[in-house]
Structure formats: structure tokens, C-alpha cells
Amino acid sequence: MNQFVLSLLLMACSLVAGEDCQKPSVAARGTSLNDFIPNGWAILDSAVGDLNMDGHPDAVIVMQHIDSVPEVRLDPVGDRLETVMTHPRLLVVLMYRPAQHAYHLLEQNNSFIPQHDYPNMEDPYEDVSIVNGVLTFDFGVFYNVGSWTATRYSYKFQYRDNDILLVSADHFTVQRNTDEFESRHYDFVKRSVMVTQGNIETDCLVPIRRKIQLQTLRTLSSLSLPFTWEVEPGIRL
């Protein structure tokens, strides 16, 4: 296992809110986004859009604990536990019900949103949006020191059959010292991946599309941690 993959797994371990921090259950119903924010938490990011395509705006909230709290996790070497101070994050998806003029909690996820813990790494959380019924999360792994590899992840979900299903994802990796890159676009509905490899400055190979093995679509609730699902050998989303 190379150093970069190990760092991803260690970071994923840090996302499991250490037993030192109990994440609260948010309200089941509210007339504004602020009604779902527990005491001691604040909105880090949010998006509004029609998720179930009923003509009414739904919402997603990414929130962060205001104060830092201790969490226990593996140290960067991976050979011992250490206690670090961090700001836990959680995610809620809200469905608007026009008959009641209120938002209702569709899902709460306590671990999918990555935290910003490592001083040598940029904040892995980038953006959330709801456009044309597609809920998109963008994450990135970029170390200021210690690694030449930079990776961006994009997860796209749709509301189907009363669940939030992962329908596609993008995995883009570039070696900053050589400009070599690999781009993978996963279409989970069609069970396929399109792979493009090349060099940012000089060339780009023709994309190759092939099938992948996937029995059922993953859900937001089943993706409890980012960067840990090995969708193909050596490729984690």
C-alpha cells in the first residue's frame, strides 16, 4: 500500500467521530434551515434545489461544531493512537413538503463530510449543490507538503424510490511533479467507467470505457466514509 493510499485511509479513520464527541440528532421538521442547527453547531455550507422534482426547493446543510473537541485516531504513521482537537461535521438532507409549509428531515449522515484536521493538507471539503434533481458533493485531497499527488472526488446522487442513490462519481488524480493524470468517470446506473490517462501539458489518451461489477446502487447512508469504498482494485471513492 503506497503512502498516498495509506494517508487516505488514515484520514478516513479520523472521520469516525471519536467516541469523545457525540453528534446530536437534528430536528425532524422546521420552517427554515436554522431550525435544524443544534446548539453549539453552525452552518458551514448549504444548498437549495429541487431534489425530488416536485417543483419545490429542497435543501442540504453541511454543519460544523463551533468549538474544537478531542478525537482519538491513528497517528499519521499508523502505529499508535493519538488525541487531536478537531471540529466535527455532519450532513442533513431536507425535503420540503408544501402542504405543511415546512422542511422535513430526509437523512442525517454523521461521517460522510470530511473534516479538516491535518495542518499540511487543504480542507478536503469543497462544495455541495442541487441542480436538476442531482445532489453533488465535491471533495479534494491536496497536501502542501509530503505528497505530490492531488486528487479530486465528485459524488452525484439522485432521489429515487424513497432513497438517496449514488448514480455517478468522478475520481481525478494528478502528479504535480510530472503533470501525469488519470480521470475516471463512473456511471453506476450503466455499471461502467470511462478512464482517461495522459499528461496535462503534452497529451491525452483516448478515453476507454468498460464495465464494472456492481450488484446494487450505493446509497448516501451506505457511504458512511468518503475515500474508503474500493470501487475497483486500488481505486477508492
Residue 202 confidence (pLDDT): 72
**CA dist., res. 26 & res. 146, Å (int):** 38
pLDDT tens profile 152-165: 999 999 999 999 99
- pLDDT of residue 137 exceeding 70, the answer is yes
Tell which residue, 135, 108, 167, has the closest CA to residue 52: 135
Among 11-15, 36-40, 45-49, 51-55, the range scoring the smallest mean pLDDT is 11-15
**CA dist., res. 228 & res. 73, Å (int):** 16
CB-based contact 184:170 (threshold 8 Å): yes
CB-based contact 76:7 (threshold 8 Å): yes
Q: Are strands 81-86 and 69-74 parallel, antiparallel or unpaired?
A: antiparallel
Q: Is the pTM of this model over 0.75?
A: yes
